[in-house]
Structure 1
């Protein structure tokens, strides 16, 4: 574990999680391999089943699964290779770190942003489906927002990692090359990424998902229909499963990072932050398994009035 020679204090960027490397190795190998298999099977099903492929609510899920593969096939294998090579990034060249950072930050944060859109879009799909029932409506209210978000994610992370003028420090003796690209030290871009690409989407996923659950229950009551748990089980899982993953794995890390941003000394909470950061891999590992419940058709409650 590295320390700052001047302050003799350890910070998140220059330290490594205390969990023994052999344990991390087996955790990553076991969970990543099973997650990849599940992801590929889901993508195969979604691409070959015409009804599922055409279902609007599955389009974001497909993109999220593909982004998750960035972590499963680039980020995690790079971490495994780091452990196998006795704690050294191989090959020890800048491009290794840049590709790793693109997967670790670009694809992961991109997934969080798209999850927020998926949570918002479910309100339209369930209560206002008529807005996107026409070809024009689908283009403006479904395909265009997804395309804009994807373009933003790709453009932002290509710019900050490969074009933005700053000097990166590549520490090949730490996972993810110390997980601190130089753009994150920039007052504007670093703050923009933390707030816009991390905090806001994570909070929106939780708020919008649970708000939709409340709206579903209230709508049923207004229609004087008794809520059948078995009938609503799939809907409930759709609403809260991905949100729960987000709350468990993203929110704690964001809270600690926000505390440091607000003045908490960098040496405080480092161990917890390291564990929270490592646990975020489980969001990617578990996502395809929870997506099994999301690909089921969404009931359009607004149509029940007719």
Structure 2
């Protein structure tokens, strides 16, 4: 395995850190998806739709993008060294990671509507306009934007097969307007949205629970709040440092952070993808959920048949009374 002396984290360490994280993450994602999709009530719950999309998106990301990372860390070069592989790798890395971040940002906004304005979802038409349509537009925009700037760019990309993600040669970043838009719209704004909406949701829930106890059913909405706040906390811890780096690079000419700090920050930002299913699992357990509910057919208790004692009732024969026994003429 090829390693670089100036790298803060060697390729061998990166390989094992990713491998030991991605395997249980994939297993946990599949288990939770089965748990949600196998039950009609859970499958139709609006608050579960974002979770399903996040888990499916991250599962595809792990199977394609992380697999290519592992292959690079194992060999030290991109193999096979082809332009088509580089385009797929860059597109998946950029588009699916952006979908994950924007999905959590949208969920942070929608949780306010689901908890405090549930009447907006009272009819199929309202659910389509408020729930399905905005998210479909966001995801379609993300895929189309990255398709045009990565697959069919207005400039020529150059590829370095000795670097991970083929050197990430996005030539559109040389265009200050397009590059700034990509950083601000797809990284900075979603992260700020997650922070602000999560804090405001927590504050609104606490205030409502204190002052309007009879009208506001905390237990009914606690599961949705816990799910969102847990996922948002994960993104805040691991992704905010990356946003700070990108913000300083966008605003300042000189870089305020060392190269090793940037390397650590960008590498461990991928743990948002790895840890997401486990964070959601913990949130479900906080809502009185148990592991055995994922595969109920595996956890059925064996019923033991015991012999039953039958109590018999003895019926005495009818004895004639003296009057009945006297013959009548």
TM-score (norm 1): 0.85
Residue in 1 that maps onto 2:129: 140
- Higher relative contact order structure (alpha carbons within 8 Å, sequence separation ≥ 6): 1
Q: Is the 8 A contact 1:210 1:239 kept in 2?
A: no
Partners of 1:127 and 1:253 lie apart in 2 by 32
Asked whether 1:55 is paired with 2:45, we answer yes
Q: What's the offset of the Cα at 1:208?
A: 0.5
* Aligned counterpart, 1:245: 234
* Unaligned residue ranges in structure 2 (runs of 5+): 288-329
Query: Does 2:247 correspond to 1:258?
Result: yes
CA contact (8 A) 1:79 1:175 kept: yes
Aligned-pair distance for 1:209?
1.2
1:28 aligns with 2:18: yes
Task: Report how far residue 267 of structure 1 moved.
Answer: 8.6
2: CA distance between counterparts of 1:64 and 1:240?
15
Match of 2:30 among 22, 36, 40: 40
Match among 110, 115, 119 for residue 126 of structure 1 = 115
Provide the C-alpha distance between the structure 2 equivalents of 1:16 and 1:110, rounded to a whole number of angstroms.
32
Say what the alpha-carbon RMSD is for the aligned residues. 2.6
Q: Paired residue for 1:166, among 115, 139, 155? A: 155
User: Are positions 1:101 and 2:125 aligned together?
Assistant: no
May I ask how many residue pairs the two structures share in their alignment?
283
Matched-pair contact (CA < 8 Å) for 1:71–1:103: yes
C-alpha change, 1:177 and 1:151, in structure 2 (3 Å) is: same
CA separation in 1, counterparts of 2:90 and 2:149?
A: 11
What TM-score do you get using the length of structure 2 for normalisation? 0.80
Q: Which runs of 5+ in 1 are unaligned?
A: 1-13, 299-306
With over 3 angstroms needed to count, the CA separation of the structure-2 counterparts of 1:180 and 1:255, relative to structure 1, is farther
Alpha-carbon spacing, 1:180–1:222, altered in 2? closer, same or farther (3 Å):
farther
Aligned to 2:72: 82
Give secondary structure in 2 for the equivalent of 1:255.
helix
CA–CA distance in 1 between the matches of 2:128 and 2:218? 34
Deviation, structure 1 residue 73: 0.8
Residues of 1 paired with 2:184 and 2:158: CA distance?
A: 23
Task: Name the structure 1 match of 2:260.
Answer: 271
Question: Are 2:54 and 1:64 equivalent residues in the alignment?
Answer: yes
Q: CA deviation at 1:148?
A: 0.7
Q: In terms of mean alpha carbon deviation, does 254-263 or 207-216 score higher?
A: 254-263
Distance (whole Å) between structure 2 residues aligned to residue 258 and residue 19 of structure 1: 24
* CA deviations over 1:93-124 (Å, ceiling 9, x no partner): 11111111112111001111111111100001
Greater alpha carbon shift after TM alignment, 230-239 vs 151-160: 230-239
> Does structure 2 retain, via aligned residues, the 8 Å contact 1:42–1:288?
yes
Name the counterpart of 2:179. 190
